[in-house]
């Protein structure tokens, strides 16, 4: 199935709902903030911004009731305000600016969020990983990884296995809590011809939470010419949808009603509808070592499999944070420390330590601090590469990078 090619960073829980586990939610918040700062750093560097196609966009969240009267939304807004997310502003001026129904949309706040062109970012990341010596082998694994752990490790001369197979984890991790959440977005032409060019991302949260169908509105500029309009998230449906599908018609009506000036018929004729399946999980995201004992032939006391799946509608929002967690779990597996369930791992102590380390290095801005990536964070994100094109292209580009930093490139 095709996926939308632009994703939006979002503070958890995501607007498409479907969050139920407290531990996973707390871990997700930390991972989201780690990712946020990585994306923000990329967006501030002209070369990384171009290579990974990451930009910071004003994103406005709209509400039908006062935020102070909705405990969940108030908590989320306050957390975002304190978390170090840039550009926080609690005001309703966008309601007037955009000509929304003032009686209906009574509250709003705005933040600066990363927008990522995932096609570009993925091909760049693939290249970087290959540049660091990884070999890409395309193939299918067909049964529970635990039963073939030793065979896979020896086939690929590997020390550990990271399972990031999304919906494939239903089989590969033997996890029957994994399920698909179908979604789709309309692609409109944002060329200023049929409606005024939309520059900010506009979002209305889900109408439902828990593992049920939910509907939400997002209107997000993908680039200078394309506008994404969504969305819905529908469990356990895997068939492709067309423009005449009831969910697509409903999202079109909702978006039109929300933003009357929008012309939802002004679609990109080449690619009017993008769609995909979010890899969701009852119990939410799982970043955890395999807890079952390995088969005797595996030759180790504890399994060397690390799972990373169930990100649902937030895979890009949590990407760098959960990857850091995976790294630490792989190290634990190699040292044959006893695996701990995610809950017992004290809501991701490891990531907390990493965040604290970055904060001590003034790497992650706290509210009120100047937004400037500092050396330690820069070191973590960018390191010398053997790829001359990458090394050269980062030179003399960032407005505020020190000379020492100029010959470095991204190291994931
Ligand atoms: C409409 C829509 C909008 C979205 N919007 C956003 C957004 O704005 N922000 C955001 O952060 N996220 C968004 N998402 C969610 C995001 O796409 C996912 O969270 C993310 O793709 C999950 O990444 P993953 O690598 O865990 O899984 P996947 O992207 O599903 O990748 C899993 C990989 O494993 C491979 N695999 C599976 N089974 C096997 C097997 N048996 N053997 C070998 N390989 C296998 C698959 O081929 C695939 O390559 C959206 C998704 C959709 C559908």
Decide if pLDDT at 380 tops 70: no
pLDDT band at residue 212, thresholds of 50, 70 and 90? low
Nearest CA to ligand 1 atom 22: 315
Q: What confidence category does residue 15 fall into, taking pLDDT thresholds of 50, 70 and 90?
A: low
Residue 10 is predicted with a pLDDT of 84
Question: Predicted confidence band at 354 (pLDDT cuts at 50, 70, 90)?
Answer: low
- Closest residue to atom 35 of ligand 1, CA basis: 165
Q: How many residues can be counted in the chain? A: 412
Whether the CB of 289 sits within 6 Å of ligand 1? no
Q: Which of 222, 311, 321 to mutate to test the pocket of ligand 1 (most atoms within 8 A of CB)?
A: 311
DSSP string, 86-152: TT-B---HHHHHTT--TTT--EEEEEEEEEEEHHHHHHHHHHHHHHTT---------S-GGGGHHHH
Q: What's the CA gap between 61 and 69, in Å, rounded?
A: 16
CATH code of the domain covering residue 64: 3.30.9.10
Indicate whether 114 pLDDT > 90: yes
Task: Note whether residue 337 is domain-resident.
Answer: no
Q: Look at residue 328 and tell me if it is in a domain.
A: no
Establish whether residue 317 lines the binding site of ligand 1, counting it when its CB lies within 6 angstroms of any ligand atom. Answer: yes
Where is pLDDT greater, at 245 or 385? 245
Of 136, 313, 317, the one to substitute when testing ligand 1's pocket (max ligand atoms within 8 A of C-beta) is 313
What is the CA(369)–ligand 1 centre distance, in A? 35
Phi, psi dihedrals of residue 390, rounded to the nearest 5°: -65, -45
| Domain interval for residue 252 | 15-20+58-113+178-281
pLDDT-derived band at 364 (thresholds 50, 70, 90) equals very low
Q: Residue 225, SS3?
A: coil
Q: Is the pLDDT of residue 181 over 70?
A: yes
Coil/strand/helix, residue 215: strand
Among protein residues, the one with the nearest Cα to ligand 1's atom 28 is 166
Q: What are phi and psi of 24, to 5 degrees?
A: -65, -35
Give a yes or no: residue 158 inside a domain: no
pLDDT surpasses 60 at 161: yes
Any atom of ligand 1 within 6 Å of the Cβ of 218:
no
Rounded mean pLDDT, 61-71: 93
Q: Is 278 helix (H, G, I), strand (E, B) or coil?
A: strand
Residue 326 lies in a domain: no
Token output for 56: 């910071």
Please check the confidence at residue 289 and state whether its pLDDT lies above 70.
yes
pTM: 0.84
Q: Whose CA is nearest to atom 30 of ligand 1?
A: 166
Average pLDDT over residues 241-247: 95
For the chain, the domain total comes to: 1
pLDDT exceeds cutoff 60 at 363: no
What's the mean pLDDT in 327-354? 79
Q: Is 204 part of any domain?
A: yes
Confidence tier at 242 by pLDDT (50, 70, 90): very high
Cα(402) to centroid of ligand 1, in Å? 36
pLDDT band at 22 (very low <50, low <70, confident <90, very high): confident
**pLDDT above 90 as % of the chain:** 64
Which one of 14, 122, 165, 179 would you pick to mutate in the ligand 1 pocket, going by the greatest count of ligand atoms within 8 A of its CB?
165
Residue 307 lies in a domain: no
Enclosing H/E stretch for 289: strand 286-289
């Amino acid at each position: 199935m095709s996926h939308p090619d632009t994703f939006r960073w979002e503070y958890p829980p995501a607007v498409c709902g479907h969050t139920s586990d407290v531990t996973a939610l707390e871990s997700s918040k930390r991972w989201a903030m780690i990712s946020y700062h990585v994306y923000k750093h990329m967006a501030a560097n002209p070369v990384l911004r171009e290579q990974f196609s990451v930009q910071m966009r004003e994103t406005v969240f709209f509400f039908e009731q006062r935020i102070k009267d909705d405990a969940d939304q108030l908590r989320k807004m306050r957390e975002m305000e304190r978390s170090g997310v840039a550009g926080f502003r609690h005001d309703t001026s966008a309601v007037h600016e955009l000509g929304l129904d003032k009686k209906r949309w009574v509250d709003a706040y705005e933040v600066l969020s990363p927008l990522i062109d995932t096609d570009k970012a993925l091909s760049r990341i693939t290249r970087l990983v290959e540049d660091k010596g990884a070999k890409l082998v395309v193939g299918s694994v067909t049964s529970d990884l635990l039963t073939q752990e030793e065979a896979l490790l020896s086939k690929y001369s590997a020390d550990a296995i990271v399972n990031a197979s999304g919906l494939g984890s239903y089989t590969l991790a033997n996890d029957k809590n994994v399920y698909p959440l179908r979604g789709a977005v309309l692609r409109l032409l944002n060329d200023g011809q049929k409606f005024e060019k939309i520059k900010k991302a506009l979002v209305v949260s889900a109408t439902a939470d828990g593992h049920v169908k939910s509907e939400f509105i997002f209107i997000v500029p993908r680039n200078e010419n394309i506008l994404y309009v969504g969305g819905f998230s529908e469990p356990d449906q895997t068939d492709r949808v067309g423009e005449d599908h009831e969910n697509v018609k409903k999202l079109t009506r909702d978006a039109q009603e929300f933003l009357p000036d929008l012309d939802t018929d002004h679609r990109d004729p080449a690619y009017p509808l993008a769609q995909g399946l979010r890899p969701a999980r009852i119990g939410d995201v799982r970043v955890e070592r395999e807890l079952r004992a390995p088969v005797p032939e595996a030759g180790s006391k504890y399994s060397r499999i690390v799972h990373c799946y169930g990100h649902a509608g937030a895979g890009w929002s949590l990407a760098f944070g959960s990857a850091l967690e995976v790294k630490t779990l792989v190290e634990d597996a190699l040292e044959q420390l006893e695996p701990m369930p995610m809950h017992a791992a004290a809501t991701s102590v490891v990531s907390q330590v990493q965040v604290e380390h970055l904060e001590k290095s003034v790497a992650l801005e706290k509210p009120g601090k100047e937004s400037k990536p500092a050396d330690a964070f820069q070191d973590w994100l960018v390191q010398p590469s053997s790829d001359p094109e990458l090394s050269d292209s980062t030179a003399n580009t960032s407005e505020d990078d020190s000379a020492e930093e100029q010959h470095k490139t991204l190291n994931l």
